[in-house]
């Protein structure tokens, strides 16, 4: 007797190959077992050589058990996925809270800085002219001191005169015409290379006192002036260490030397450059 069962059993995991008919045996001996044939996933199952439904029911029970285990595994995986999604959501909320806190802190610091600046401005406006000048001078001195310390400790700043040199601290000493000395004189043999101490832009000019001279505006805005050159070198864009001239005694110099000035932040702000030379130049010629 042949009975056709609907493909409902396919929902429990029986899927036959689309190209090769499958024969599935239920439990039992070779001559007494029910055989199930399926031509393809879309075809109904056919029970042949049946000696009863018992073996087939037993097989279907095992199939149902496997399907049940598959459902449990899928449920576990779905639960794990739900926990992962929930964890990601918690982390995202935590990150958003951290960013919000950082933004609030920055906003508070910004408003605090504005308030401090406003209060400072009010105090300055209440000072008389002499007190205001003293305050501005003190502020400039602190700023210049910080600039000198930065250059002294720099590992990139290069002594502008190559090789052995001689120099002393003559800052502020009187000069002809009522001037004072606003640089450091780095002495070396004539024609010794002069190099850019930092990267920037160099221009050459003739100075009425020093003769052949260079102006170097550094990338950070600092200004350097050098004079008494014998010859010019590279002009325009330069890197630290590029040859921009040669030591000489041009102008009013009475020896071969480079007069070097340092103006932090730009022209008209000269500071004593002796600490720079002391930190970076070879003084073995003394």
Question: Which tens digits make up the pLDDT trace of 214-241?
Answer: 999 999 999 999 999 999 999 999 999 9
d(CA 264, CA 144): 6
Mean pLDDT of the chain: 79
Supply φ then ψ for residue 170, to 5 degrees: -115, 20
* 225, 188 contact by CB (below 8 A): no
At residue 95, the pLDDT reads 67
At residue 286, the pLDDT reads 67
| Domain 174-280 fold | Glucose Permease (Domain IIA) (2.70.70)
- DSSP letter string over 163-174? SB-B----TT-E
Model confidence at 126, in pLDDT bands (50, 70, 90)? low
| Number of Cα atoms under 13 Å in the Cβ half of residue 26 | 23
Question: Which tens digits make up the pLDDT trace of 75-87?
Answer: 776 677 667 667 6
**Could you tell me the pTM of the whole model?**
0.57
Model confidence at 137, in pLDDT bands (50, 70, 90)? confident
CA-wise closest residue to 165 among 251, 235, 259, 239? 259
d(CA 194, CA 245): 5
Other residues' Cβ atoms within 10 Å of the Cβ of residue 14: 19
On the 0-12 / 13-18 / 19+ scale of CB atoms within 10 A, 76 is exposed
Q: Where are the domains of the chain?
A: 3-65, 174-280
* 234, 256 contact by CB (below 8 A): no
Model confidence at 277, in pLDDT bands (50, 70, 90)? very high
Q: How far apart are the first and last CA of the chain?
A: 122
Other residues' Cβ atoms within 10 Å of the Cβ of residue 216: 21
At residue 60, the pLDDT reads 58
Pairing of strands 174-175, 257-263: unpaired
Check pLDDT > 60 for residue 57.
no
**Alpha-carbon dihedral sign for residues 63, 68, 69, 71:** positive
Q: What is the DSSP letter of 44?
A: P
Other residues' Cβ atoms within 10 Å of the Cβ of residue 281: 24
At residue 257, the pLDDT reads 98
């Amino acid at each position: 007797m042949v009975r056709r069962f609907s493909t409902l059993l396919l929902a429990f995991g029986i899927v036959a190959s689309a190209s090769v008919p499958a024969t599935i045996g239920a439990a039992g001996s070779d001559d007494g077992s029910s055989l199930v044939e399926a031509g393809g996933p879309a075809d109904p199952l056919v029970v042949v050589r049946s000696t009863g439904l018992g073996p087939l029911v037993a097989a279907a029970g095992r199939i149902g058990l496997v399907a049940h285990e598959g459902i449990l595994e899928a449920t576990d995986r779905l639960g794990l996925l739900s926990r992962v999604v929930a964890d990601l959501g918690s982390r995202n909320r935590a990150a958003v809270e951290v960013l919000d806190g950082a933004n609030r802190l920055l906003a508070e610091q910004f408003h605090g800085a504005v308030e401090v600046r406003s209060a400072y401005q009010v105090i300055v406006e209440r000072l008389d002219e002499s007190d205001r000048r003293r305050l501005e001078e003190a502020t400039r001195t602190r700023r210049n001191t910080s600039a000198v310390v930065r250059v002294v400790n720099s590992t990139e700043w290069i002594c502008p005169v190559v090789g052995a040199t001689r120099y002393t601290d003559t800052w502020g000493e009187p000069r002809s015409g009522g001037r004072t000395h606003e640089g450091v004189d780095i002495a070396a043999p004539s024609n010794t290379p002069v190099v850019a101490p930092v990267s920037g832009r160099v221009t050459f000019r003739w100075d009425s006192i020093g003769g052949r001279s260079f102006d170097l505006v550094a990338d950070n805005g600092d200004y350097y002036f050098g004079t008494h050159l014998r010859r010019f070198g590279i002009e325009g864009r330069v890197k630290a260490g590029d040859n921009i001239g040669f030591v000489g005694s041009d102008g009013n110099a009475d020896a071969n030397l480079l007069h070097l000035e340092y103006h932090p932040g730009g022209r008209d702000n000269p500071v004593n450059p002796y600490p720079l030379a002391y930190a970076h130049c070879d003084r073995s010629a003394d």
